[in-house]
Amino acid sequence: MPTPASILKETFGYDSFRPLQREVIENVMTRRDSLAVMPTGGGKSLCYQIPSMMFDGLTVVVSPLIALMKDQVEQLRAYGVPAVFLNSSLSPQEYQENMDYVKRGEVKLLYVAPETLLTPRILSLLAGLKVDCLTIDEAHCISEWGHDFRPEYRQLVQVRKQFPKAVCLALTATATARVRQDIRSTLQFSTSNEFVASFNRENLFIEVMPKRDPTQQTLDLLNRYKDQSGIIYCFSRKQVDELASYLISRGYAARPYHAGLEDIDRKRNQEAFIRDDAQIIVATIAFGMGINKPNVRFVVHYDLPKSIEGYYQEIGRAGRDGLPAHCLLLYSYADVAKLNYFIDQKEGDERRVAIQHLNAIVGYAEDEQTCRRKPLLSYFGETYAADNCSNCDNCNSSPTPLTDVTIPAQKFLSCVKRADEKFGAGHIADILLGSKNEKVLRWGHDKLSTYGIGTELTQKQWMHLARQLLSMGYLKQDGEYRTLSLTPKALEALKKRAPIFGVLQEAERVKKKDGRKEEVEYNHALFALLRQKRKELADEAGVPPYVIFSDRTLVEMAAYYPQSPSSLLTMSGVGQVKLNQYGDAFLAIIKGYAEKHGLKEKRKDAPRDKSDSNRRYVIVAEAFNRGEGVGELMRKYGVTIGTILDHLARYLSAGNALRKDSDLQSLSSATPDQQQTVFAAFEELSPLYQLKPVFDKMNGALNYDELKILRLLYLISNQE
Ligand code: ADP
Ligand code: ZN
């Protein structure tokens, strides 16, 4: 009897599961309805593909992305898994053929669009068959609270009733508590078996650079990833067209993609990108949904995105294959002004929300100290516990030294006050710089004592300082009009002339080392030959190259020079069927190359366990277990309570235990009622990563540190 692990290895050629894959698969195999939330590239597909091969009956996969079905089915067939799809893109004859396959019980997986599934023709086809699993992909489409509601998804529950024995698996990459609740209740899940994976994508190198010469900065990046695939996102169609033409004129295989192009051109450009005929896509945000390409090596944001959510989704399209990928955001304050201009055309709630989103991404882009992963993940309610991810610009450069900015800060704060706390940062800077613009004169601000006292800094530096004063809590900003006012902290600082430390812009940052994590060492010349072969085979078969082998597989071949079928099988992504089909073609190239250059086969070591890196949390947790209190640990390591709590949670989630008799309970200021409500929420949710749903549930009455304390108490009380 095959096991999930043996199928993973023998069919798909992978050595180990990605986080939560095993848990979801086991849960589905015991016929418990499951909801799995995983980021893009997290490996959702295997969660139903592996069970489908273990059930006797059929697995039906509902997906709204017609374009992706063909791709998925092609990939499965290359692995030797019998699968078909039914949707409106098929000719009547193909449609009938696929129906016949299903009827004869020859396929394990059937992909259908929701509207197709709901037709009498398909329902009666399925009525005569044993359906073991109903998988709902992109399950957030069920919820009106999701960003992509589709009414026909609501009717899927009727289909469920027709197959009461079939287990239901819902998959999505959208994680809000509201949407998750909606999915479970609409599909009438009996028990709530929910699996929420971390949204951290370790292999993405995340970088923000001041936008100086964006074209040159983009070219520099392209030159580092010669012949590799990447996406460049721009704000406007015009910008897309210009940049694409420019890149083409410089000899790059680039294509534009935006909503203003004819359908047919858009489709052609997308196809060229998927098939590795064009390396670069220059696009507006319209590009990406329904693209499954695993080997996107870089994503550039040529212009500032409108929100952290959108940004994270876009960079998420890089590196789905798990290999290192580079995400570069070019940031300038001019872009903020441009987006503000568009926001100002909106009204009411829409406007307020847009401002909030923009503030969040600006805060993110301007932070030059904190690990990039912290704010990104905390935006999704997840805490990132490591102090240093060693795969973002901020973790890889020495921190910008803080300087004493007391004098300019005092000037700015008192100017805010003198202007009656009714103006935004730009106007305050104008006053300090002694501007004679119309607004300054109209309000008589050229008469203020702070008028013209700040010429030692530029407008840009004042704006930058203002944003730091905001984030340090000296200023607060009105949500709708962006007017600044002083906080008690500022009044106190002005009164006591307390020193203020910050960063004055334009101090160049010192890079410790050249960004990215070390890639696997591999032979680039051999890799190029293997890629060429892959492209040939793909074109012959009329499929995208990654259906044959992923980049990771080729990288491993070019690193270990396997020269026999059995060693080829140890490469990631080589299963039995692919070995039979393509093994000889690739072995011939590797052998020929190795012989010519006198290279020997190298043994591939078992995957290295990474649990030993970032051991700080272990040291902290062990000290805790020896009897040290949280307060003591904070002093000893000079960190905040949040950091200590994160370390302890991480230690628990790695499968260790914590002692019960600590000072944790005494640190909590939650009332017994609140504590009970929070515990009940943890009971229902997957507690380790996602605190935001609980935070929302408590309407913010308990801050995140409080919730972290309660989370630990909850987990400790539940440990064996
Ligand atoms: P999602 O649907 O969550 O975006 P996919 O299911 O498309 O992700 O998987 C993304 C990529 O990761 C695919 O190329 C897939 O083959 C690969 N993959 C999935 N699981 C594993 C694993 N356990 N080991 C190695 N690669 C995997
Ligand atoms: Zn980092």
271 inside domain: yes
Residues 554 and 701 both lie in one domain: no
pLDDT at 23 over 80: yes
Residues 359 and 459 both lie in one domain: no
DSSP class per residue in 330-360: EE-HHHHHHHHHHHTT--HHHHHHHHHHHHH
User: Distance from the CA of 86 to the center of ligand 2, in angstroms?
Assistant: 44
* CATH number of the domain bearing residue 630: 1.10.10.1390
- The ligand with the least distance to the CA atom of 376 is 2
Distance between CA atoms of 631 and 641, rounded to whole angstroms?
A: 8
Residue type, 581: Q
Residues 46 and 148 both lie in one domain: yes
Residues 251 and 335 both lie in one domain: yes
Total structural domains within the chain:
5
25 or 471, higher pLDDT: 25
For 716, the enclosing helix (H) or strand (E) is helix 704-718
pLDDT at 684 over 90: no
Select the highest-mean-pLDDT range: 117-131, 136-150, 151-165. Answer: 117-131
Please name the residue whose Cα sits nearest to atom 27 of ligand 1. Answer: 43
* CATH number of the domain bearing residue 545: 1.10.150.80
- Which two tokens mark 480? 């709708």
pLDDT at 177 over 80: no
513 inside domain: no
149 inside domain: yes
User: Distance from the CA of 620 to the center of ligand 1, in angstroms?
Assistant: 34
Question: Could you say which of 142, 177, 196 is where a domain stops?
Answer: 196
| Mutational test site, ligand 1, from 35, 61, 320, 574, max ligand atoms within 8 Å of CB | 320
Q: Residue 333: pLDDT band by 50, 70, 90 thresholds?
A: confident
Q: Residue 512: pLDDT band by 50, 70, 90 thresholds?
A: very low
Contact 220, 245 (CB under 8 A): no
Question: Could you say which of 148, 178, 196 is where a domain stops?
Answer: 196
Cα of first residue to Cα of last residue in the chain, in angstroms, is 32
Residue type, 695: F
pLDDT at residue 539, as a whole number: 94
In the chain, % of residues over pLDDT 90: 52
* CATH number of the domain bearing residue 463: 1.10.10.10
Residues 561 and 632 both lie in one domain: no
Question: Could you say which of 379, 395, 417 is where a domain stops?
Answer: 379
User: Distance from the CA of 35 to the center of ligand 2, in angstroms?
Assistant: 30
| Mutational test site, ligand 1, from 10, 75, 321, 549, max ligand atoms within 8 Å of CB | 321
pLDDT at residue 538, as a whole number: 95
Contact 18, 200 (CB under 8 A): no
- Which two tokens mark 81? 């898994």
Q: Among 677, 705, 672, 701, which Cα is nearest to 691's? A: 705
Distance between CA atoms of 406 and 500, rounded to whole angstroms?
A: 5
Range 326-338 average pLDDT = 93
552 or 522, higher pLDDT: 552
What is the number of H-type helices and E-type strands within the chain?
35, 17
169 inside domain: yes
* CATH number of the domain bearing residue 177: 3.40.50.300
Residues 115 and 42 both lie in one domain: yes
pLDDT at residue 195, as a whole number: 92
Q: What is the mean pLDDT of the chain?
A: 88
Residues 145 and 217 both lie in one domain: no
Range 271-292 average pLDDT = 88
* Residue 80 main-chain phi, psi, to 5 deg: 85, 20
Q: What is the Cα 112 distance to its own chain's centre?
A: 27
Contact 129, 105 (CB under 8 A): yes
Select the highest-mean-pLDDT range: 49-53, 335-339, 564-568. Answer: 49-53
Q: Residue 511: pLDDT band by 50, 70, 90 thresholds?
A: very low
Q: Among 378, 370, 396, 214, which Cα is nearest to 308's? A: 378
* Residue 455 main-chain phi, psi, to 5 deg: -75, -5
610 inside domain: no
Q: Among 214, 216, 139, 213, which Cα is nearest to 170's? A: 139
Angle between helices 672-684 and 704-718 in degrees, nearest 10: 70
Residues 219 and 190 both lie in one domain: no
pLDDT at 398 over 70: no
pLDDT at 602 over 70: yes
Distance between CA atoms of 459 and 478, rounded to whole angstroms?
A: 21
Q: Among 88, 54, 384, 335, which Cα is nearest to 214's? A: 335
| 191-236: pLDDT as tens digits | 668 898 888 998 999 999 989 899 999 999 998 888 899 999 999 9
Q: What is the Cα 42 distance to its own chain's centre?
A: 9
562 inside domain: yes
Q: Residue 61: pLDDT band by 50, 70, 90 thresholds?
A: very high
Range 416-444 average pLDDT = 93
User: Distance from the CA of 40 to the center of ligand 1, in angstroms?
Assistant: 9
Please name the residue whose Cα sits nearest to atom 9 of ligand 1. Answer: 43
Residues 211 and 312 both lie in one domain: yes
User: Distance from the CA of 626 to the center of ligand 1, in angstroms?
Assistant: 41
Q: Which residues contact 557 (CB under 8 A, 6 or more apart)?
A: 526, 527, 530, 568, 571, 586, 590
* Least reliable range by pLDDT among 41-55, 355-369, 416-430, 651-665: 651-665
pLDDT at 510 over 70: no
Q: Domain span at residue 468?
A: 403-502
Question: Phi/psi zone of residue 614: left (φ > 0), alpha (ψ -120 to 50 degrees), beta?
Answer: left
From the CA of 16, give the closest atom in ligand 1.
Answer: 23
Other C-beta atoms closer than 10 Å to the C-beta of 308 total: 20
Contact 229, 297 (CB under 8 A): yes
Range 1-23 average pLDDT = 93
From the CA of 546, give the closest atom in ligand 1.
Answer: 14
Residues 588 and 620 both lie in one domain: no
Q: What is the Cα 241 distance to its own chain's centre?
A: 27
Question: Is the sign of the CA dihedral 474, 477, 483, 487 positive or negative?
Answer: negative
* Least reliable range by pLDDT among 2-11, 60-69, 271-280: 60-69
Residues 224 and 299 both lie in one domain: yes
Distance between CA atoms of 676 and 236, rounded to whole angstroms?
A: 50
User: Distance from the CA of 361 to the center of ligand 1, in angstroms?
Assistant: 29
Q: Does residue 662 sit in helix, strand or coil? A: coil
Q: Among 677, 685, 711, which Cα is nearest to 177's? A: 685
- The ligand with the least distance to the CA atom of 371 is 2
Range 417-427 average pLDDT = 93
Distance between CA atoms of 596 and 624, rounded to whole angstroms?
A: 59
pLDDT at 166 over 90: yes
Q: In what order do the strands lie in the sheet with 325-331?
A: 204-210, 325-331, 296-301, 229-233, 280-283, 254-257
Contact 643, 383 (CB under 8 A): no
Q: Which residues contact 391 (CB under 8 A, 6 or more apart)?
A: 202, 203, 204, 205, 206, 516, 517
pLDDT at 708 over 90: no
Residues 188 and 233 both lie in one domain: no
13 inside domain: yes
Ligand 1 interacting residues, C-beta cut-off 6 A: 14, 17-18, 21, 38, 40-46, 292, 294, 320-322, 550
Distance between CA atoms of 714 and 693, rounded to whole angstroms?
A: 16
| Mutational test site, ligand 1, from 12, 74, 295, max ligand atoms within 8 Å of CB | 12
126 inside domain: yes
Please name the residue whose Cα sits nearest to atom 18 of ligand 1. Answer: 43
566 or 143, higher pLDDT: 566
User: Distance from the CA of 502 to the center of ligand 2, in angstroms?
Assistant: 20
| 150-163: pLDDT as tens digits | 888 888 988 888 88
pLDDT at 520 over 70: no
